[in-house]
């Protein structure tokens, strides 16, 4: 992990870096220093640089940005010390920028204003999402109305050429069983299971494969080879069903929240005076 953190300095997000800059410049110095009333409740800072504290919350937020979704349990004490050194370096550089008056530089001011807007917009969006989570009634209504919840169970035989696929189809039109031909001819790992791919939605498959599956009735096999980037397929549709509600719950939640948030933005636009001047 140490090398990972060493390499991350050049790739750290602009938002994270400028957040530190804001903490060291002008108004940011006041925001960085904890209020007297909060001293008892607030955890001690992870460092103090020339009287300006680096809060534990800021450290944790910066660390999460570097981890990019990885577990913090993988981070060693040495890694955390390196991250803290990075934050101290930023604090020192930001303080020098403040002394040099760079906050008043037009380019810097523009970037600071943009990052401030992004942070506030993100905070407002998170607040809205948390207070408008879909109800069970909304989720079940969305599930009942969904048109793309069909799951398919199919088997396939994958071969390298169209000619080979045509030969496989000819065998299947005879007395050969699909499972036996798959075990003997298929180049896919599913051959061990007779070509069985289990349950899936067509969204998980490459388009030519998904389209071919949709065109089959249960028990049918493709009469023409199906080409994808993996080779040539002969496909048999075994069964269909509606995906279970719990399996689609996350997808349904995202869809509902996207619509709610877009409606919220549209409502804000209706009461705002917007003038485009590009």
**DSSP structure class, residue 75:** -
pLDDT in tens, 62-82: 999 898 878 888 889 999 999
**Percent of the chain at pLDDT above 90?**
76
What is the rounded average pLDDT of the residues 237-258? 94
3-state secondary structure of 149: coil
* CA dist., res. 200 & res. 203, Å (int): 8
Rg (CA), the chain: 29
The answer to whether residue 274 scores a pLDDT higher than 80 is: yes
- Beta-bridge partner residues of 152: 200, 240
pLDDT at position 72: 85
- What sign results for the dihedral spanned by CA atoms 222, 226, 232, 233? negative
The answer to whether residue 181 scores a pLDDT higher than 70 is: yes
The answer to whether residue 270 scores a pLDDT higher than 90 is: yes
Q: Which of 121, 107, 85 is nearest to 6 (CA)?
A: 85
Q: Which of 84, 87, 92 is nearest to 25 (CA)?
A: 92
66 CB burial (10 A radius; 0-12, 13-18, 19+): buried
Sequence-distant (6+) residues with CB within 8 A of 218 are 237, 238, 239, 240
pLDDT at position 117: 97
> Using an 8 Å Cβ cutoff, are 205 and 213 in contact?
yes
pLDDT in tens, 167-177: 999 999 988 99
Mean pLDDT of the chain: 88
CA atoms within 13 A on the CB side of 247: 10
**Where is average pLDDT lowest: 70-79, 84-93, 207-216, 219-228?**
70-79
The answer to whether residue 14 scores a pLDDT higher than 50 is: no
pLDDT in tens, 25-61: 444 443 444 444 444 567 899 999 999 999 999 999 9
The answer to whether residue 227 scores a pLDDT higher than 80 is: yes
């Amino acid at each position: 992990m140490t090398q990972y953190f060493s390499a991350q300095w050049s790739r750290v997000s602009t938002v994270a870096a400028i957040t530190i800059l804001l903490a060291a410049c002008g108004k940011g110095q006041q925001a960085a220093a904890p209020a007297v009333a909060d001293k008892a409740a607030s955890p001690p800072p992870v460092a103090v640089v020339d009287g300006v504290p680096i809060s534990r919350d800021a450290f944790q937020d910066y660390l999460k940005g570097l981890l990019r979704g990885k577990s913090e349990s993988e981070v060693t004490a040495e890694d955390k010390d390196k991250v803290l050194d990075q934050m101290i370096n930023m604090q020192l550089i930001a303080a020098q920028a403040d002394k040099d008056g760079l906050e008043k530089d037009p380019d810097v001011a523009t970037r600071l204003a943009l990052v401030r807007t992004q942070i506030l917009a993100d905070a407002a969006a998170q607040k809205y999402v948390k207070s408008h989570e879909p109800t069970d009634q909304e989720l079940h209504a969305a599930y009942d109305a969904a048109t793309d919840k069909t799951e398919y169970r199919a088997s396939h035989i994958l071969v390298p050429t169209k000619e080979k696929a045509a030969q496989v189809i000819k065998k299947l039109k005879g007395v050969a069983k699909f499972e036996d031909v798959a075990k003997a001819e298929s180049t896919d790992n599913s051959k061990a299971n007779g070509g069985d791919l289990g349950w899936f939605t067509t969204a998980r498959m490459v388009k030519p494969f998904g389209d071919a599956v949709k065109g089959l009735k249960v028990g049918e096999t493709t009469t023409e080879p199906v080409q994808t980037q993996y080779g040539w397929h002969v496909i048999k549709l075994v069964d269909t069903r509606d995906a279970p509600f719990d399996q689609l719950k996350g997808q349904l939640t995202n869809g509902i929240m996207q619509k709610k948030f877009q409606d919220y933005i549209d409502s804000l636009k209706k009461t705002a005076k917007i003038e485009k001047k590009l």
